[in-house]
Amino acid sequence: MKKITITKSAGFCSGVRRALRLAQQTARSYKNIYMLGDIVHNPRVVSNIKKTGIKKINKLKAQRNGVLLIRAHGAQKSVYEKAARLGYKIIDATCPMVKEIHSLAKGYEQKNYTIIIIGDKRHDEVIGIKGNLKNMPIIISGRKEIKGIKFEHVEKAAIVVQSTQNQDKVKDIVEQLKKHIKKLIFCDTICQPTRLKQKEIQLLPSSQDIMIIIGAKSSANTKRLYELSKKINPNTYWVNSKSQIKKNWFKDKVKVGIGAGASTPDYIIKEIEAFIKGL
Ligand code: SF4
């Protein structure tokens, strides 16, 4: 008999829940709804959203009575402007915590601070933060990049952080930046749901025989949870469906810990929990 422990914070964060709720409400009230990219990094959630009639597009085109749904990650100012020009009605599902990052960064930019974003350059959230600023910010995704940056002209800087970054990694980058910039303001914008997830995933794996982290391979926050857990418990596996689970992982294992990324729906967690129970 397996003893399964699921972290309290496993699965959707408040921002993703809100975005999905808004998407469903919008689908009930409008036709011709479009989204630039996937609503979350999870193929099953994406396919369910598709069934509601919301279409994924890569580029905004003129569309009669079009509705544009902005995802939880947010978007750059130019997207709102172009959508308005083309006559779209905008439904903004940007997570309030991401909006807060936008407003902090804009506020410091207005006070002539250079903005530094700690995050993944290619991630939509970072593209959105950058795209709401007037000047080009410095984007740092890892401490190694600091060496190649010229800070001579940076008199004062304000740091904001992509909401799902790893707390220890960010602290380390901030410490390095202190050596280069005298006046440095650090806005720790890692969101509360991410902090809770990271805290739980640093506590649970040491008491478990095996850890299962659930989320799509495209989910960056799931990847971070997996890495944190794997460091503590080498018997950590990353899956997105029960079909990816191998029975031999569980040989002689009793205590099974489960964590899941912010884009993992409860039904996938429940399916996997039931599958493990049945082994
Ligand atoms: S991870 Fe945090 S900031 Fe991002 S959508 Fe979820 S709650 Fe909002």
The rounded distance, in Å, linking the Cα atoms of 196 and 93 is 22
Ligand 1 centroid, distance to 125 Cα (angstroms)? 10
Average pLDDT of the segment spanning 188-192: 97
With a pLDDT cut of 70, the percent of the chain lying above it is 100
Atom of ligand 1 nearest to the CA of 101: 3
For 38-74, what is each residue's pLDDT tens digit?
Answer: 888 899 999 999 999 999 999 999 888 999 999 999 9
Is pLDDT above 90 for 276? Answer: yes
Name the one residue in this structure whose structure tokens are 């602290």. Answer: 171
DSSP H helical ranges for the chain: 14-29, 43-51, 77-85, 96-110, 124-130, 167-178, 192-203, 220-232, 266-277
pTM attached to this predicted model: 0.92
Going by CA atoms, what residue is nearest to atom 8 of ligand 1? 15
What percent of the chain is helix, strand and coil (3-state, nearest 5)?
A: 45, 20, 40
Query: For residue 162, what pLDDT band results from cuts at 50, 70 and 90?
Result: very high
Ligand 1 centroid, distance to 149 Cα (angstroms)? 29
Going by CA atoms, what residue is nearest to atom 6 of ligand 1? 15
Average pLDDT of the segment spanning 117-135: 96
The rounded distance, in Å, linking the Cα atoms of 272 and 17 is 20
With a pLDDT cut of 90, the percent of the chain lying above it is 95
**Hey, which residues are catalytic here?**
125
Are the CB atoms for 166 and 194 separated by under 8 Å? no
For 70-114, what is each residue's pLDDT tens digit?
Answer: 999 999 999 999 999 999 999 999 999 999 999 999 999 999 999
Q: What is the CATH number of domain 3-11+193-277?
A: 3.40.1010.20
Atom of ligand 1 nearest to the CA of 16: 5
Average pLDDT of the segment spanning 239-264: 96
Fold that domain 97-190 belongs to in CATH? Cobalt-precorrin-4 Transmethylase; domain 1 (3.40.1010)
pLDDT of residue 40: 87
pLDDT of residue 204: 98
Look at phi and psi of residue 23 and say left if phi exceeds 0, alpha if psi is from -120 to 50, else beta.
Answer: alpha
pLDDT of residue 63: 85
Query: Residues enclosing ligand 1, CB less than 6 A?
Result: 13-16, 72, 95, 97-98, 163-164, 191, 193-194, 262
Fold: same for 3-11+193-277 and 97-190: yes
Query: For residue 212, what pLDDT band results from cuts at 50, 70 and 90?
Result: very high
Ligand 1 centroid, distance to 169 Cα (angstroms)? 18
Is pLDDT above 90 for 154? Answer: yes
pLDDT of residue 173: 98
The rounded distance, in Å, linking the Cα atoms of 261 and 263 is 5
Q: Provide the residue type at 65 as one letter.
A: N
Ligand 1 centroid, distance to 233 Cα (angstroms)? 26
Mean pLDDT taken over the chain: 95
3.40.50.11270, 3.60.20.10, 2.30.38.10, 3.30.70.260: CATH of 14-96 = 3.40.50.11270
DSSP structure class, residue 250: G
In the chain, what are the domain boundaries? 3-11+193-277, 14-96, 97-190
The rounded distance, in Å, linking the Cα atoms of 169 and 146 is 13
Element counts in the chain: helices (H) and strands (E): 9, 12
pLDDT of residue 251: 93
Atom of ligand 1 nearest to the CA of 125: 4
Burial of 153 per CB tally in 10 Å (0-12, 13-18, 19+): exposed
pLDDT of residue 116: 98
Going by CA atoms, what residue is nearest to atom 2 of ligand 1? 191
Is pLDDT above 90 for 263? Answer: yes
Are the CB atoms for 52 and 30 separated by under 8 Å? no
Ligand 1 centroid, distance to 153 Cα (angstroms)? 33
Query: For residue 178, what pLDDT band results from cuts at 50, 70 and 90?
Result: very high
Atom of ligand 1 nearest to the CA of 98: 3
